[in-house]
């Protein structure tokens, strides 16, 4: 098992392959954009000294183990009077809810979520409108011209007038919140309200090019990450199953077009 806090290490980095020929991944700190080879121990050491990361943890996650180690130093190794805990017993206790009933988790295993590719969508975008720097940061507004979608449960068009509300961080990482309508090809058509929430992150020079429709066409999608969480709502009886669904999406930018694949969580 990994060290305590390794999950926090991985959450603080975006992994990417700098060149197609590279055999190893690189990792970029999302707090200061430092890039290094993917190595958990070295990434952890960087976070112990990264002022941006430590400041963010002090404000938003004061119990973060890496922050504690930066302030107090590494925890002392166990002494003979402090035997190592029984990791299996602790793990069984966590799963079953209390010690001594681990057989419950073995008899009734918790199902693992599965991702199933469900639909693809393409949207043509208007030029972004800068709302300016507000209380949360730089806010941009991007409206939808049109679009189309198709998937396992239907196909249709994207109703003009949807929009992205973008919040851009100083490092150009961009939080995207989207609201728009899908129209099905049924007769009569059904209308489905969709909400996306996610982040586009990567090296600064890549994100700068993505903001330019001409240069965005030439950017390798593997050099940045655009991930979203998707929910849908409709009152049409033919599509009520969408109301209780959950999806995650992986998107790319192509000129003035945004494309993403959506995977249903089952």
114-131, pLDDT tens digit by residue?
Answer: 999 999 999 999 999 999
As a whole number of angstroms, the distance between CA 253 and CA 258 comes to 5
Which residues does 179 contact at the CB level (< 8 Å), separation at least 6? 162, 163, 193, 194, 195, 196
* Whether 228 contacts 83, CB under 8 Å: no
99, 128, 143 - which closes a domain:
99
Do 171 and 233 reside in the same domain of the chain?
yes
Structural domains in the chain (count): 2
Do 131 and 160 reside in the same domain of the chain?
yes
- Is there a domain that residue 31 lies in? yes
* Whether 133 contacts 164, CB under 8 Å: no
Give just the sign of the alpha carbon dihedral 10, 14, 17, 19: negative
Domain with 34 in it:
6-99
> What is residue 102's predicted lDDT score, i.e. its pLDDT?
47
Do 151 and 64 reside in the same domain of the chain?
no
Do 94 and 123 reside in the same domain of the chain?
no
- Is there a domain that residue 165 lies in? yes
| pLDDT for 23 beyond 50 | yes
- Is there a domain that residue 1 lies in? no
65, 99, 133 - which closes a domain:
99
- Binning pLDDT at 50, 70 and 90, where does residue 143 land? very high
Global pTM value? 0.60
């Amino acid at each position: 098992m990994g060290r305590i806090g390794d999950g926090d290490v991985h959450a603080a980095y975006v992994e990417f392959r700098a060149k197609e020929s590279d055999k190893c991944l690189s990792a970029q700190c999302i707090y200061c954009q430092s890039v290094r080879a993917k190595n958990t121990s070295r990434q952890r050491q960087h976070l112990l000294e990264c002022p941006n990361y430590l400041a963010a943890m002090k404000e938003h996650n004061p119990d973060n183990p890496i922050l504690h180690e930066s302030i107090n130093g590494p925890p002392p190794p166990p002494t003979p009077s402090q035997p190592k805990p029984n990791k299996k017993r602790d793990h069984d206790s966590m799963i079953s809810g209390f010690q001594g009933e681990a057989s419950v988790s073995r008899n009734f295993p918790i199902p693992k979520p599965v991702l199933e590719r469900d639909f693809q969508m393409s949207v043509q975008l208007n030029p972004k409108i800068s709302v300016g720097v507000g209380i949360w940061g730089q806010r941009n507004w991007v409206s939808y011209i049109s679009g189309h979608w198709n998937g396992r449960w239907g196909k249709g068009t994207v109703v003009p007038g949807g929009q992205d509300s973008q919040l851009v961080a100083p490092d150009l990482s961009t939080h995207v919140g989207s609201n728009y309508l899908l129209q099905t090809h049924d007769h009569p058509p059904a209308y489905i309200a969709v909400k996306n929430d996610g982040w586009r992150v990567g090296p600064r020079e890549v994100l700068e090019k993505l903001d330019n429709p001409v240069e965005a066409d030439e950017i390798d999608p593997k050099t940045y990450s655009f991930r979203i969480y998707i929910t849908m709502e409709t009152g049409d009886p033919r599509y009520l199953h969408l109301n209780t669904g959950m999806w995650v999406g992986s998107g790319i930018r192509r000129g003035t077009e945004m494309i993403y694949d959506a995977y249903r969580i089952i």
